[in-house]
Amino acid sequence: MQRREIFAGNWKMFTTRAEALALARGLLEGLGELKGREVAVFPPSVHARELADICRGKIDVGVQNMYFEKEGAFTGEVSPVMVKDLGARYILIGHSERRHVFGETDEMVNRKVKAACEYGIEPMVCVGELLAEREAGDSEKVVGGQLRKAFDGITADQMKKAVVAYEPVWAIGTGKVATPEIADAMHRYIRKELAGLYGAGIAAMVPVLYGGSVKADNIAGLFASPDIDGALVGGASLKANSFLDIIHV
């Protein structure tokens, strides 16, 4: 079975409304032949509704973060109901900046994954080790633990809609991309862990994206790995041309 290939742009806390619209239009104009690949963008949530309208049917829109409750007195948060309602397909969960800047725990990640599944939003779950953890030889232990906790209580059927993004924290925004060998080894490990949790059939279906300093000049080496099913791109997704060059690898 052919796994889905996804190229996703995480715009983080960048773009005014005008910049977001211009970036989306630039992407739509340059999409061209996608060879079955899927393209998604994660704009700041205040722009997501408008982008979902103009991107419909061509580029999937996701939201970068949400809370796990349906509604309530949670000032500043957005709920899964709102994310679904605006027409988003994906919710990014557990990005390293959420974990390390905002103190998101594995338990919160798990509650968000459960909320996404409950409300019909496809979770794109980020995992990845810190540099110190890699240097201590703990990368697999850390990533395996993040995976098991994130998907605790998630059924095999729900897992069919999930996407995993391996983003080594030391590679995010640093220009230090993981070598294809490092990324390939971790992606194979992630697939093995998923097979242990859900069986080989489900593990073979779940796209596992690489993220961390992906650029047009390093994507080909990474994407050559059969277990790397696309990329989650930060900085290089903020210019239409550089993201398009990655998508068209």
Q: Which position's Cβ is nearest ligand PGA? A: 234
DSSP string, 138-176: -HHHHHHHHHHHHTTT--HHHHTT-EEEE--GGGTTTS-
Report in angstroms how near the CB of residue 214 gets to ligand PGA at its nearest.
5
Report in angstroms how near the CB of residue 199 gets to ligand PGA at its nearest.
29
Residue tagged active-site, from 5, 167, 187, 193: 167
CA distances in angstroms from 199 to 89, 162, 191, listed in the order given: 25, 15, 10
* 126 vs 158 by CB, closer to ligand PGA: 126
Residue tagged active-site, from 5, 47, 95, 193: 95
CA count, 13 A, side-chain hemisphere, 45: 18
Report in angstroms how near the CB of residue 180 gets to ligand PGA at its nearest.
16
* 113 vs 172 by CB, closer to ligand PGA: 172
d(CA 131, CA 202) in angstroms, rounded, equals 30
Instruction: Note the residues at the interface with ligand PGA (CB under 6 A).
Output: 10, 167, 172-173, 211-214, 232-236
- Whether 95 is a known active-site residue: answer yes
- Whether 100 is a known active-site residue: answer no
* 88 vs 198 by CB, closer to ligand PGA: 88
Report in angstroms how near the CB of residue 165 gets to ligand PGA at its nearest.
7
* 62 vs 211 by CB, closer to ligand PGA: 211
Q: Catalogue the active-site residues.
A: 95, 167
